[in-house]
Amino acid sequence: MITAERKPLEELIEYIKPFKRILLLGCNECVTVCSAGGRKEVGLLASGLQMAMLKSGNNIEIRQHTLERQCDPEYVEELVPMINDADAVMSMACGCGVQEIAMRFKDKPVFPAVNTTFMGASERQGVWAERCQGCGNCLLGETGGICPIARCAKQLMNGPCGGSVTGKCEISDDVDCAWQLIWDRLKSLGLEERYMEITPAKDWRSGGGSGPRKIIREDLAE
Amino acid sequence: MSFQTRLAAKDFIVLAEMHTPKGINISRLVNDASRLKGRVDAVVIPDMDNGIMRMSALAGGVLLQQQGIETIMHMYCRDRNRMALQGDALAAHVLGIQNIIVAHSTDMSESDHSDAKPVNDLDETELIESLGTLQKGKDISGFDLDGSPDFSIGCTLAPFSSDEELAASLTAAKAQIAAGATYVVTPPIYSEEGCSELLEKTKHLGVPVIATVFLIKSLAIAQYIANSEPGAKISDDLIRRIRKSSNREQEGIKIAAETILALKENAGGVLIQTLGWEHKLPDILEAAKL
């Protein structure tokens, strides 16, 4: 999933200060799963903003709404009847959702309420970790299902480096050395010889090196 | 007189561009440059211009400085992060290079290493600002330097093919001038026809505008540019003139010289760009009476 974290309240107040009527939008997808911008968080933020604004003597009107999927134009259309009642929109979706709103409602100021962080997985309750950087050319089949692009601090293709100590990365004892994990996994799969193969320098074109990427599925595109 | 002094005095600046080799054979670079000694204010050394991996501009600049030729080194943001850029800037000063042009870089996808990962840690405006910070004795992170460098810094006007693109290029150039650039180098001008319009549109920048004069080496190049660059202002008459010439190489040199002469009145200077025909630079200077 795409993970996100809510921005500090002070930053959000600065965004909405000039406006009286705010449409606060949540998204039912990734940001709901990582508890950053779903229906519940929309409610909490609305109360927080109301209280902070009242404290400073400003009365604002906040309308709450959570879309099924904010990165999908089909669902964004649902905002048409309510958009004119808002001076500005604050979106708790990931950056994709915020941009979709900005693109659809060109004359409406749109502000992000979360920092979109990474593509990751839940490690345990309340903890998410980065797993994928969307490099466009998946290597997991070669590296035992562990990604050196997302999980090695140096994105080494032929690791580990000298900073790998007892399975941990030199940047922090909290970070596993991805190449130690790769080695352990290849070993348990009986594929140690694969580790000895030298991987050539990565082609970054598919990873955004050639600019913004787009997928066009001829079988589906209208 | 040094480039910096002549720039400050608003004299007409004459620069020549010379590329480093793709390899280690420096004889052509050094020989071509030595023929310009005393005839140009400085030699501009692009880095991996047009996205072609070659010897670094820092090395090329130092080589020519060692020959007694003042150089201006290109720096840009595609291939180096803020640490490498600052390190190179300090090295350049220590090795005798005091002139830097912060240039636009060709996108990695159009380079001869199109699979490489682009850096773009800073943008051009931030790089110019950070060079200014170094001159004040600090690095970007605010740490003190043990001795600060001194540079003259120029910027480039991004290529444009429409009025909208030109407006965007001018806005970016203004930001770079505000950040510390003291002159601006234009994209290539191919003939006299392109001069007045560009100078008119850049005069409000408030700094010397150095026009890049491109040597048209052949009829095929003229036709290619005319077809592929909508704003190039290579007219049918110019193409006809080259086609009819009995000596097309010489015709190209004459056209470049005429362009330089047309710029002499109103531009801050010229940068002569020959892309591989650096041995022809003395002929162009001769024809332009420089």
Domain spans in chain B, listed from the N-terminal domain onward: 3-287
Query: Which residues of B fall within a CB distance of 8 Å from A210?
Result: 107-109, 114
Question: Does A210 contact B117 at a Cβ distance shorter than 8 Å?
Answer: no
Report residue B144's pLDDT band, with 50, 70 and 90 as the boundaries.
very high
CA-to-CA separations, B191 to B105, B197, B251, B267, B287, in angstroms, rounded: 24, 12, 12, 14, 15
Q: Which of A155, A199, A204, A214 is the mutation pick for testing B, counting most B CBs within 10 A? A: A204
Query: Which residues of B fall within a CB distance of 8 Å from A211?
Result: 107, 109
User: Does position B1 have pLDDT exceeding 70, yes or no?
Assistant: no
Average pLDDT over residues B25-34: 97
List of chain A residues with pLDDT < 50 = none
Q: What is the pLDDT of residue B17?
A: 98
**Residue B96 · residue B149 · CB < 8 Å:** no
CA-to-CA separations, B16 to A132, A206, B288, in angstroms, rounded: 48, 38, 13
**Domains of chain A, CATH where assigned:** 2-118 (3.40.50.2300), 134-201 (no CATH)
Segment (H or E) for B168: helix B163-179
Q: Could you report the per-residue pLDDT of B34-77, keeping only the tens digit for each?
A: 999 999 999 999 999 999 999 999 999 999 999 999 999 999 99
Q: What is the pLDDT of residue A222?
A: 83
From first CA to last CA, the distance across chain B in angstroms is 15
Q: What is the pLDDT of residue B198?
A: 86
Average pLDDT over residues B117-128: 97
User: Does position B217 have pLDDT exceeding 70, yes or no?
Assistant: yes
Q: What is the pLDDT of residue B101?
A: 98
Lowest-pLDDT choice from A133-142, B192-201, B275-284:
B192-201
Question: Does A202 contact B117 at a Cβ distance shorter than 8 Å?
Answer: yes
Q: What is the pLDDT of residue B232?
A: 84
Query: Which residues of B fall within a CB distance of 8 Å from A203?
Result: 115
Q: What is the pLDDT of residue B231?
A: 77
Q: State the architecture of B3-287 in CATH terms.
A: Alpha-Beta Barrel (3.20)
In chain B, % of residues over pLDDT 90: 89
Average pLDDT over residues B159-174: 92
| The one-letter amino acid at B174 | K
Looking at every residue in chain B, the average pLDDT score rounds to 95
